[in-house]
Structure 1
Amino acid sequence: MLLNEGKIGNISLKNRFVMLPTVTNLSNDGFVSEKEINYYDRRSKDVGLVIVEACYVNKFGKFFKNQLGIDDDDKIEGLKRLADVLHRNGAKAAVQLAMHNPKYKPSDFTVEDIKGFAKDFVDAAKRAKKAGFDAIELHFAHGWFVNQFLSPNVNTRDDEYGGDFDGRARFALEILKNVKSEVPDMVVVCRINGSDYTDGGFDINESIKLSRLLEEHGADALNVSSGVGSTSEYHISPMGIDDRPLITHVKKIKDSVSIPVIAADKLGVAADWESIVRQGYADFIGIARGLIGDPDCVGKYIEGKADEIKYCIHCNQACIAYIQKGLPVSCMMNPTVGREKEFDTAAKEKLNVAVIGGGPAGMSAAIYLARKGHNVELFEKSDSPGGQLKVAKVPPHKSEIGEVIHYLEADLKKYGVKVNLNHEVTCHELKNMNYDKVIFATGSMPKKLEIEMDIVPLKAIDVLDGKIPQGQSIAVIGGGLTGLETAEYLVQKGKSVIIIEALDDVGKNMFPMLRKVLLNRLKKYKIQIITSAKVEKITGGKLVYNNGNDNIIDIDDVVVAIGNVPDNTFKEFKKDDKYYFIGDCKNVATAVEAIRDGAELSLII
Structure 2
Amino acid sequence: MSLLFSPLALGRLTARNRLWVAPMCQYSAVDGVPQEWHHTHLAQFASGGAGIVIAEATAVSSEGRISPEDTGLYNDAQRDAWAPITAAIRARGALAGVQLAHAGRKASTWSPFSGRRGSVPSDEGGWQPVAPSAIAFDGFAEPVAMDASAIDRLVADFAAAAGRAIEAGFEVLEIHAAHGYLLHQFLSPLSNSRDDEYGGSLENRARLLLRVVDAVRDAAPDAPLLVRFSASDWAPGGWDLEETTMIAREVAARGADLVDISSGGLVASQQIVVGPGYQVDFAAQVRRGAGVPVSAVGLITDAAQAEAILASGDADAIMAGREWLRDPHFALRASGELGADIDYWPKQYVRARPA
CA contact (8 A) 2:246 2:290 kept: no
* 1:545-591 superposed Cα distances (whole Å, 9 cap, x missing partner): xxxxxxxxxxxxxxxxxxxxxxxxxxxxxxxxxxxxxxxxxxxxxxx
Preserved contact between residue 198 and residue 231 of structure 1 (Cα < 8 Å)? no
- Per-residue CA deviations over 1:247-305 (Å, capped at 9, x if unaligned) read 11111101133432110011243211111001100000111111111112221111338
1:105 partner amino acid: A
Which residue identity is paired with 2:190? N
1:171 pairs with 2:208? yes
Which of residues 269, 279, 283 is equivalent to 2:316?
283
Secondary structure, in 3 states, of the residue corresponding to 1:197? coil
TM-score, length basis structure 2: 0.81
> 2-side partners of 1:141 and 1:80: how far apart?
26
Of 47, 53, 56, the match for 2:56: 53
Instruction: Decide whether aligned partners of structure 1 residues 105 and 171 sit closer, same or farther in structure 2, where only a CA change above 3 A counts.
Output: same
Decide whether the 8 Å contact of 2:301 with 2:320 is kept in 1: no
Confirm or deny that 1:296 pairs with 2:329. Answer: yes
State the Cα distance separating 1:232 from its structure 2 match: 9.3
Against the structure 1 CA distance between its residues 214 and 15, is the aligned structure 2 distance closer, same or farther, given a 3 Å change threshold?
same
Partner of 1:105: 131
RMSD (CA atoms): 1.8
Q: Which amino acid in the other structure matches residue 297 of structure 1?
A: F
Amino acid at match of 1:80: A
Give the structure 1 partner of residue 71 of structure 2: 68
Give how far 1:246 is off.
1.1
Query: Residue 231 and residue 290 in structure 1: after superposition, are their counterparts in 2 closer, same or farther (change >3 A)?
Result: farther
Q: Does 1:156 align with 2:193?
A: yes
Report whether the alignment pairs 1:198 with 2:235.
yes
Q: Structure 1 300/34 Cα, relative in aligned 2: closer, same or farther at 3 Å?
A: same
Determine the C-alpha separation between the residues in 1 that align with 2:215 and 2:319: 27
Give 1:522-533 correspondences, 5 Å limit.
Answer: none
- The answer to whether the 8 A contact 1:142-1:232 is kept is no
In 2, the alpha carbon distance for the partners of 1:100 and 1:22 equals: 14
Tell me the residue number matched to 1:24.
Answer: 26
Give the % identical residues.
30
- Structure-2 residue corresponding to 1:123: 160
One-letter code of the match for 1:220? D
- Using the alignment, how far apart are the partners of 1:302 and 1:271 within structure 2? 10
1:159-558 alignment to 2 at 5 Å? 159-230=196-267, 241-304=274-337
Q: Tell me which amino acid in the other structure corresponds to 1:38.
A: T
* AA partner of residue 284 (structure 1): A
Distance in 1 (CA, whole Å) between partners of 2:316 and 2:268 is 26
The separation in 2 between residues aligned to 1:174 and 1:126, in whole angstroms, is 16
Larger radius of gyration: 1
Q: Deviations over 1:483-531 (max 9, x none)?
A: xxxxxxxxxxxxxxxxxxxxxxxxxxxxxxxxxxxxxxxxxxxxxxxxx
- CA pair 143-171 structure 1, distance change in 2 beyond 3 A: same
Q: Normalised by the size of structure 1, how large is the TM-score? A: 0.48
> Which amino acid in the other structure matches residue 169 of structure 1?
A
Cα distance in structure 2, aligned partners of 1:296 and 1:271: 16
* Counterpart residue number, 1:147: 184
Alignment-derived partner of residue 552 in structure 1: none
Alpha-carbon shift at residue 29 of structure 1 (Å): 2.5
Query: Who is 2:351 aligned against?
Result: none
CA-to-partner distance for each residue in 1:452-477, whole Å, 9 max, x for gaps? xxxxxxxxxxxxxxxxxxxxxxxxxx
Structure-2 residue corresponding to 1:445: none
C-alpha separation in 2, matches of 1:256 and 1:8: 20
Q: Is the 8 A contact 2:302 2:334 kept in 1?
A: no
1:137 aligns with 2:137: no
Instruction: Provide Cα deviations, 1:152-176, integer angstroms capped at 9, x if missing partner.
Output: 1211111111110000000000000
C-alpha deviation, 1:185, in angstroms: 1.2
Q: Letter of the aligned partner of 1:301 in structure 2?
A: A
2:185 and 2:266 in contact (8 A); partners too: no
- Cα distance between partner residues in 1 of 2:183 and 2:330: 32
Equivalent pairs counted in the alignment come to 302
Task: Quote the offset at 1:230 in angstroms.
Answer: 3.4
Distance 1:243 1:13, change over 3 A: same
Out of 276-285 and 294-303, give the one that drifted further.
294-303
Q: In the TM superposition, what are the counterparts of 1:585-604 in structure 2 within 5 Å?
A: none
Using a 3 Å threshold, how does the CA distance of structure 1 residues 259 and 229 change in structure 2: closer, same or farther? closer
Q: Give, in whole Å, the separation in 1 of the partners of 2:130 and 2:269.
A: 19
Pairs within 5 Å for 1:572-591:
none
2: distance between equivalents of 1:270 and 1:231?
32
Equivalents in 2 of 1:253, 1:68: separation in Å? 30
Give the distance between the partners of 1:291 and 1:80, measured in 2 at CA.
22
Give the deviation of 1:233 after TM superposition. Answer: 7.8
